[in-house]
Chain A
Amino acid sequence: MSIEIKNISYTVKDFEILKEVSLKIKKNEIFSLLGPNGSGKSTLLRIVSGDIQPNFGTVKFDDTMLDKISIIDRARIRSVMSQSQEIIYDFSVKEVIEMGWLEGKEFVTEKFDNALIKVGDECKISHLFDKSFNQLSGGEKRKVHFARTLIQMYNKDFETKSRYIMLDEPTANLDISHELQLIKILKKKSQEGFGIFIILHDLNLAYHFSDKVAFIKKGKIHALGTPNEVYKEEILSDVYDLDVSFDKTIKKISYY
């Protein structure tokens, strides 16, 4: 049960954004993608989620080619949290979360209500439900979108082999305590059976919570493996063109 990405290349106007990227995102795992700005992380996530088609290479979800999966079925096996978060009209928080809820053949009110209570507890946002989304702070908006991304995977009406949650820098705008809270929820979700594919910037956070890490630089996979395998000073320094030191005893990265 996994997403298999094979030899992905993506070129825009003669500029190679991704070069022969291959990796595997398994269920029950947090797979973190790290790398400098402009290295192609978001593009890779957009290809894996099905927004754009690669020029070469294939993406398979549990042995099915991604382009053979209808967009409705895609919504049932993976949810995506991107960086955009603006909404023009004055929706309530509850309505925004509800947008993530996928309808089965029939809309069963209790199912949605239970999922809403669950996600509200998990993300600790139940007190915001009746507020206007546009009056929230940037961090609160993130959390609401995160809850929407989670609830999209909560309707058990659909039979899927596995489910995946993909997140593009979900911790941007969050203070350290909320950052930790979010990543802990993801850890729990991976233990519940979800596959998590996440773009992160914080090296320490990625080290402590990931099962797999990939470093990407200039569109190429630079290193891939468990955090302990790839967190080496020479690899990190090479990826970021910066002197990065890694204290093995307290397991902390420092670079200044």
Chain B
Amino acid sequence: MSKTFNRFFRYITFKQFTIFNLLTIILIFIIGVGISIGSFEFSVLKYFNNSLTTLEKEVLMNIRFPRVILAAVVGAALSMSGACLQGLFRNPLADPGLIGVSAGAALGAAFSIAMSAEFFPDFLLTPYLLPFSAILGSAFVISILFIITRGFGFEGMTYMLLAGIAINAFAGVGIGILTYISDDAELRGLTFWTMGSFGGVTWTLIIPAIIIILSTIIWTLRISRKLDLLQLGESEAYRLGVDIKKLRFDIIMSSAIIVGISVSLTGMIGFVGLVVPHLVRLFGGVNHHYLLPCSALTGAILMVSSDLLSRILIQPAELPVGLITSAIGSPFFLWLIFRMRNK
């Protein structure tokens, strides 16, 4: 652990370290704002002199706080996964949503919602069946993508996006069929889940998710150096002592786990994984010792802010948070394509 820590400081510049600290401060601030504002108005500061009413305390600790924390963790997860995939594929357009990984997770999740009654009895683990099948779905899609794009070198970009379109369409069909054959109760579950939101989460469900996602993120930080070397090309990285097969497996599995869990808890939230790593590269550089942790922080900031917007824009109703991230992300995506064309 201390080795990782030392390396981190070796490879980042003073400017990058400053950005890292600034992002941390902004994240703490925005989390504070996130738990202070909502359709139910009261002063959060009252928490500190213990003068909250029971209802206010309930809203703060069991509604807003888990929601904001989940938003931060999911934002970090999606951005981290985007940064890792962009590094692995050496392709700036890789994003768990765009290339179909989220859709795979969604299909897996939908499958478990619609089929759980048929195949699994109501036992204790059922709440965790959903994240688990979402992880399987996303791992499956990433493996397919890898088989399709390997060996295509720099042309992999087009192939991967086309494959993503196909996979997204296929997942759409799958979810459609599952919706069609579901009974009323399952349909209800499926519909609520597909709309995607951070609302209605409970500590029991998100605590294991947070632990798994955060530990996966920290574990993934170890591969920063290898991801840097991979940018020279696979054979070059191999010659520098990187076990390419293991690296691929590590990235694919960690992305599948964090995207799978995120999607299973919140539905599909697009473009975060695409936009955030690009922003972070624009701020201060491209090396992964800087890029990975700062992407996680920026993703968390962006997601908590989007969730905040989704709650306050049309109070007391709520916009789906995926709508907001896509509204920010899709023009950014167009700009990215435009810029690449002009290069």
A residues bordering B, Cβ < 8 Å? 49-51, 71-76, 79-80, 82, 84, 86-92, 95-96, 98-100, 102-103, 106-107, 109, 152
Residue B316 at the chain A interface, CB threshold 8 Å:
no
Cβ-defined contact, A51 with B91, below 8 A? no
Q: Is the CB of B231 within 8 A of A49?
A: no
Interface size class of B (residues with CB under 8 A): 20 to 34
Instruction: Please state if A95 and B228 are interface contacts (CB–CB under 8 Å).
Output: yes
- Among B284-305, those with CB < 8 Å from A are 285-287
Given A84-B236, A88-B91, A90-B286; A71-B241 close (CB under 8 Å): yes
Asked if A99 and B239 sit within 8 Å, CB to CB, the answer is no
> Across the interface, do B241 and A75 meet the contact criterion of CB distance under 8 Å?
yes
Could you say which of A73, A76, A99 has the most chain B C-beta atoms within 10 Å of its C-beta?
A99
| Contact in complex: A51, B238 (CB < 8 Å) | yes
Known: A74-B241, A88-B90, A106-B6. Contact between A99 and B281, CB under 8 A? no
Q: Decide if B232 touches A51 in the complex (CB within 8 Å).
A: no
B243: Cβ under 8 A from any A Cβ: yes
Inter-chain contacts of B92 with A (CB < 8 A):
88-89
Contact check: which of A75, A88, A89 meets B239 at CB < 8 Å? Answer: A75
Contact B240 A87 (CB under 8 A): no
Q: CB distance A99 to B240 under 8 Å?
A: yes
* B235 on interface, CB distance cutoff 8 Å: yes
Cross-chain contact B231 with A87 (CB below 8 angstroms): yes
| A82 B241 Cβ-Cβ under 8 A | no
Residues of chain B within 8 A of A90, CB atoms compared: 281, 285-286
Q: A82-B235, A100-B240 are in contact. List 18 more A-B contacts (CB 8 A).
A: A50-B239, A51-B238, A72-B241, A79-B239, A87-B231, A88-B91, A88-B231, A89-B92, A90-B286, A91-B228, A92-B285, A95-B287, A99-B231, A102-B240, A103-B7, A106-B3, A107-B6, A109-B10
| Minimal beta-carbon separation of B74 from chain A (angstroms) | 25
For A91, give its contact among B10, B225, B231, B233 (CB under 8 Å). B231
CB neighbours (8 Å) of A89 from chain B are: 92, 231, 281, 286
B240 CB contact (under 8 Å) in A73, A75, A91, A107: A75
Contacts of B154 in A (CB 8 A): 86
Is B60's CB within 8 Å of the partner chain A? no
Inter-chain CA distance A90–B202, complex, in Å, is 42
Q: Which residues of A contact B235 (CB under 8 A)?
A: 51, 82, 84
- List 28 A-B residue pairs with CB atoms under 8 Å apart, sorted by A's residue number: A50-B239, A51-B235, A51-B238, A71-B241, A71-B242, A72-B241, A75-B239, A75-B241, A84-B233, A84-B235, A84-B236, A86-B154, A86-B233, A88-B90, A88-B92, A88-B231, A89-B286, A90-B281, A91-B287, A95-B287, A99-B240, A100-B240, A102-B240, A103-B7, A103-B225, A106-B6, A107-B7, A152-B240
- Tell me whether A49 and B228 are in contact (CB under 8 A): no
Question: Taking A49-B239, A71-B241 as contacts, is the C-beta distance between A99 and B6 under 8 angstroms?
Answer: no
In the assembled complex, which residues on chain A have CB atoms less than 8 Å from the CB atom of B251?
Answer: none
